[in-house]
Amino acid sequence: MGTISGRVGGAIGGYDIHATVENGVISGRIGGMFFGNDINLTYSMEKGFIKGRLGGTIIGRSVEGSLSPNSLSIRIGGMIDGNNLELTVSDNSVYGRCGGPVFGFDVDINLTDGQAIGRLGGGLVGMDVKGSVADVEPIIAGALFAIVYYVYQVNHRGNGSSGGSNGN
């Protein structure tokens, strides 16, 4: 069984992630007990898909798209209120973009010796990533850390603490 745990953002502003990855199923939690989302995703590298749900059945966001060992292209949320996440793996790094060229954020995460360290957003506006990854494909780990930042931004839209590009 693979595990991912860590933090996106600082001690005060940010979210935790705790997830398990086993037999094509990703489950766990983003955020805390009261504010955050459950993770319920399935995937197959062989069939090239990832899909599922963040949050609950009624209040939550769908996740669906394509997946390979070196790339991921998914939609988080609906056609109107969602964003695309495009990631690529090169050496020990996962990089890409969530959202569009204006409203969105960059992904740059290094995975070495079971540690995930990186940045989501830009140099000035964004959040640091610090976590641990065991027995999980780099593309899956990078996607989950990016999804944490996306969920954080969605949950903080309109309250002045988006931590990034206008909450998106």
pLDDT digits (tens, 9 = 90+) for 14-27: 899 999 999 999 99
Listing DSSP states for 25-89 in one string gives EEEEEEE-SSSEEEEEEEEETTTTEEEEEEE-SSSEEEEEEEEETTEEEEEES-TTT-EEEEEEE
pLDDT digits (tens, 9 = 90+) for 3-12: 999 999 987 8
pLDDT digits (tens, 9 = 90+) for 39-93: 999 999 999 999 999 987 677 899 999 999 999 999 998 887 789 999 999 999 9
**pLDDT score recorded for residue 20:** 98
Query: Which residue ranges form the domains of the chain, and what is each CATH number?
Result: 2-155 (2.40.128)
d(C-alpha 52, C-alpha 59), whole Å: 13
Residues 6 or more apart whose Cβ sits within 8 Å of residue 22: 1, 2
**pLDDT score recorded for residue 82:** 85
pTM above 0.85, yes or no: yes
pLDDT digits (tens, 9 = 90+) for 102-126: 788 999 999 999 999 999 997 778 8
167 pLDDT exceeds 70? no
Is residue 118 within 8 A of residue 106, CB to CB? The reply is no
Is residue 50 within 8 A of residue 72, CB to CB? The reply is yes
Residues 6 or more apart whose Cβ sits within 8 Å of residue 59: none
**pLDDT score recorded for residue 80:** 79
The encoded tokens of residue 151 equal: 């969920």
More confident residue, 165 or 43: 43
Q: Mark 37-64 as b/e (b = at least 16 C-beta within 10 Å).
A: bebbbebeeeeeebebbbbeeeebbebe
pLDDT digits (tens, 9 = 90+) for 125-140: 889 999 999 999 999 9
The encoded tokens of residue 132 equal: 């641990």
Is residue 132 within 8 A of residue 116, CB to CB? The reply is yes
In the numeric block, the tokens 């070196």 are attached to: 70
Band of the pLDDT at 159, cuts 50, 70, 90?
A: low
d(C-alpha 60, C-alpha 56), whole Å: 5
In the numeric block, the tokens 């209120």 are attached to: 81
